Amino acid sequence: MPLSTVVSPFCSSSATFLSTVIARSSLPPKRNVSPSPFSTLSRRGIALLSFLSLSLSAPASAIEIGMSGPKNWLKDQKKKASKYLLAPIDASRQILRSAYLTLTETDAAYTDEDLEKIQQLFISAARDCVPQDRNSFVTFQANTGVEVCTFRLIVKNAASLLGNKDPVKLKAEALLDNLIRSFTSVSGMASKTNIQLASDRKKIADAVSDTISDLDKFELGIRDCLET
């Protein structure tokens, strides 16, 4: 007599579970956007920028009166401090490059959480120079007359020994305006994008690339101020 076939009630659920596991394992890995190590400026750097803003803010016309010794000394001190002035620029560049690499990866699934992390990278790279991206405390400081834009502080320090109409200073200020516009643009695009669409990611990546280019030009303008 042939044995009867007994179908376990768990077979169907087991097969379903196995199919789910296989399906999930075949999906591309989720993006894991980690915060950039360059996303924050050290307290030492911020303190030094504040010190330089006070020590090098004397009008150029006042320094030029009398002997050239004090002016030459200040120029020398400014050059020695140049690495601290340029450090935030390089840090922002590294953050933008990290965001660009994240946006241009093609073998991973993107989520809204990834988009939020990328937006935070843009905010960190902009150094409080985009008003709509500032937190409430920084906004309060700005409203009381405190300069909160790190890049603007860098221009003030680097060009502190130059006259208001000096072409080198005017060029640096123009490059700063272009840079802030670029940061504002890329931040605005990120707030309206669909991170899951490759075409949207490419648009933001292109905007990030343009911002890096503007940041490089801004750095050259600052170096010119330091060398003048």
pLDDT digit string (tens) for the chain, length 228 residues: 444 444 444 334 443 333 433 343 344 444 545 444 444 444 445 445 555 544 444 444 444 444 456 667 767 777 777 888 899 999 999 999 999 999 998 777 889 899 999 999 999 999 999 999 999 999 999 999 999 999 999 999 999 889 999 999 999 999 999 999 999 999 999 989 899 999 999 999 999 999 999 999 999 999 999 988
Q: How far apart are the C-alpha atoms of 177 and 171, rounded to whole Å?
A: 10
pLDDT value, residue 48? 53
Q: Where are the domains of the chain?
A: 37-227
pLDDT value, residue 43? 41
pTM, 2 dp: 0.71
How is residue 139 written in tokens?
């906004």
pLDDT value, residue 116? 93
